[in-house]
Chains A and B, each alone.
Chain A
Amino acid sequence: MDPALATPAHHSPLTDGHSVDLNLSADTELQLIARRARRRLLRMHFERKVGHIGGNLSCLDALLALHHRILRPEDSFVLSKGHSAGALYITLWSLGLLADADLETFHAEGTLLAGHPVPGWHPRIPVATGSLGHGFPVATGMAFARARCGQEGRVFCLTSDGEWQEGSMWESLIFAAHQRLPNLTVMVDLNGLQGFGSTREVASMEDLGQRLAAFGIPVLHVDGHDHLAVTAALRRPGSAILVLHTTKGAGVSFMENRMEWHYLPLNAEQYAQALDELSEDAVAAALAAGGGR
């Protein structure tokens, strides 16, 4: 059993001491959590002058839905797109599984919160990831061992879309499909942008969902920023691939669909504008208008 998953979030900075309306629907509550998580994620990256913000924002909603609504003590999660470690750290912080003091060490000397997850210190980070094409194969091995040993629990994995250009991903997909694994759910953060161009321009795999479906594992297309839709898809029993249609830089207007936010840190002016867009007033207005993230 994963001890962190067994431990209740005894002090969640997003639900303790904040004005979360407990009567809100689950979707609305997660929207509020997501807004505040975005603010904290931007602050962490701004204070540490660190990039990779765009891809963190594209997958943050799915990570929040998974960790807040789905993961049980017997489950595991592998962040195959390790460059979104920031989103994972913020998600763990939103559950009270990391403290503000921990986040302040992000990218610092002597930190455990490296730019890509390092192993051996947090139960919700089962393996080191960062080199693309590794996390999904390892997660497949974890799921395989559980299935063969009759163990409870599902294995979830989040990949990027460009990561599917790695051959090891397809090797493992062949294996997972052939073994008919019953317990592996893969999320693909389909934000359409990779390191030096769009996925369409660099090495198109369109339609990625169709290509994945050809291996015989059910593929579901989901709005990756719709917490209810992501949660519902993740609740589906059995193995599946969730193609999350996302926006790189989601939630910050000047970052959305801009490749440079794969790399750039925020300057003070940009940070102020981003916070303004994610302010409590903006949250309330968006919710009142029925808006998303």
Chain B
Amino acid sequence: MRNSFCQAMLARAAQTPQLFFLTGDLGFMALEPLRDALGERFVNVGVSEQSMIALAAGIRRNGGESWAYSIAPFCYARPFEQIRNDVCLNGLPVRLVGNGGGYAYGPMGGTHHAIEDYGVLLTLSGLRVYVPAFGADVAPMVAAMGAREEPGYLRLGRSEVSDESALPAYQRWRCLLEGAAGLVVVAGPLAGKLWNAWQARDRADRPALWVLGDWSADDQELPAALCQAIAAAPALAVVEEHVAQGGLAAWLLYRLALAGVACPPLHHACARGYPSGRYGSQAFHRRECGLEADTILEALRAAAGLPASALAGPAAQSVAV
């Protein structure tokens, strides 16, 4: 997605002469075209994330359009007070971009993971998070972030779908698959993993798959079609590479309750930190947290009172959810 992001920023920069792009010394092998295009408006502020966010606020306060980039944990955790005070309290539409959401930096270790990023940021007034599921989502998200006069956080990952051309174009809410074995709401690149695993299954033997792309604490309305589908589903699963607290499940269930939608039995597949105390690839951490397609499917079937799927892999039996 970094390359998609770079291309999207090049397009935006071409029509936005006041655009400033700040990076905290990251972007090697990805952002060079943007650096070359922006010239002195591409600013490597050095290893100084707090200053970077405050600088971005100051630039915006002076009329510039500012984007601040780092890897995800350095983008929101270290400079949280700057985001809270300098950006959000001042109502400045600064755009934050964090690369490598969730466990994407796998074996780099826990300091480099971002498994509580959007939950933390959504506590701030007026901020909207954008979590692309696919590479093709990035360009419309960048355009939307630039068009909205509100602070935004873009959580980049790695597109994991086998064939993006088969997917519907970006919308905030998309139904990727119809299905009768429950309903799954997912955020981020895990959507691609689930789509890869389930798209060839019979409709009766797979869940419906919905993906959410951007949301804020101020959003209250849910699509009517989604509400109807959830109400009719035998079970609901929410899937996210993020901890439960502040995550998508809590956000969604609160809105379902406000809308008076009775929620079916729930399974929440989410980041659970480091259950074994050991570290590994993104796939390792997902597996430890039950963030795999087979595991999720079996948990969903169990929640719905359905028999185990004959197509479930061994992981479904080996990981407690």
Instruction: Please list the residues of chain A having a beta carbon within 8 angstroms of any beta carbon in chain B.
Output: 119-120, 126-128, 130-131, 133-134, 137-146, 148-149, 151, 167-168, 171-172, 174-175, 178
Contact = CB atoms under 8 A, between A and B. Distances in A.
A141 B55 contact: yes
B111 interface: no
Interface residues of B, number: 29
A134 B54 contact: yes
B281 interface: no
Main SS at interface, chain B: helix
B41 interface: yes
Given A138-B86, A168-B51, A175-B48, A148 B20 contact: yes
B55 A144 contact: yes
Given A148-B64, A172-B55, 17 more contacts: A119-B91, A127-B58, A134-B82, A137-B54, A137-B86, A138-B57, A141-B58, A141-B61, A142-B59, A145-B20, A148-B20, A148-B41, A149-B64, A168-B48, A171-B46, A171-B50, A175-B48
Interface in B28-87: 40-41, 43, 45-46, 48, 50-51, 54-64, 66, 81-82, 85-86
A130 B66 CA distance: 23
A127 B57 contact: yes
Contact of B51 (A126, A142, A149, A175): A175
A172 B46 contact: no
A120 to B, nearest CB: 7
The list of the 10 closest CB pairs from A to B, nearest first, reads A141-B58, A137-B54, A171-B51, A171-B48, A141-B55, A145-B62, A142-B58, A138-B58, A168-B50, A145-B59
Contact of B58 (A119, A131, A140): A140
A128 B89 contact: yes
A174 B62 CA distance: 21
A141 B62 contact: yes
Contacts of A120: 90-91
Given A148-B40, A149-B64, A138 B89 contact: no
Contact of B62 (A130, A146, A171, A172): A146
A133 B50 CA distance: 9
B16 to A, nearest CB: 13
B245 interface: no
A140 B55 contact: yes
Nearest to B56: A141
Contacts, number: 100
A128 B64 CA distance: 18
Contacts of A168: 48, 50-51, 54, 82
Nearest to A172: B51
B311 to A, nearest CB: 53
A64 B221 CA distance: 51
Contacts of B317: none
19 contacts: A120-B91, A127-B86, A127-B90, A131-B85, A134-B81, A137-B54, A141-B55, A141-B61, A142-B61, A144-B58, A144-B59, A145-B20, A149-B18, A168-B48, A168-B54, A171-B48, A171-B51, A175-B45, A175-B55
A172 B59 contact: no
Interface string B83-110: 0011001110000000000000000000
A141 B58 CA distance: 4
A62 B318 CA distance: 70
Nearest to B82: A134
B46 A145 contact: no
Most chain B beta-carbon contacts within 10 A, residue among A130, A145, A149, A172: A145
Interface string B10-37: 0000000010100000000000000000
Given A131-B85, A144-B59, A149-B64, A172 B90 contact: no
A145 B82 contact: no
Nearest to A167: B50
Contacts of A134: 54, 81-82, 85-86
A151 B64 CA distance: 12
A126 B48 contact: no
A151 B55 CA distance: 17
Given A127-B86, A128-B90, A137-B86, A145 B50 contact: no
Max chain B C-beta neighbours (<10 A), residue from A131, A168, A174, A178: A168
Interface centre among B43, B46, B89 (most CB of A within 10 A): B89
Given A127-B86, A128-B90, A174-B46, A149 B63 contact: yes
Contacts of B58: 127, 137-145
A174 B51 CA distance: 10
A148 B42 CA distance: 11
B74 to A, nearest CB: 13
Contact of B54 (A146, A149, A172, A174): A172
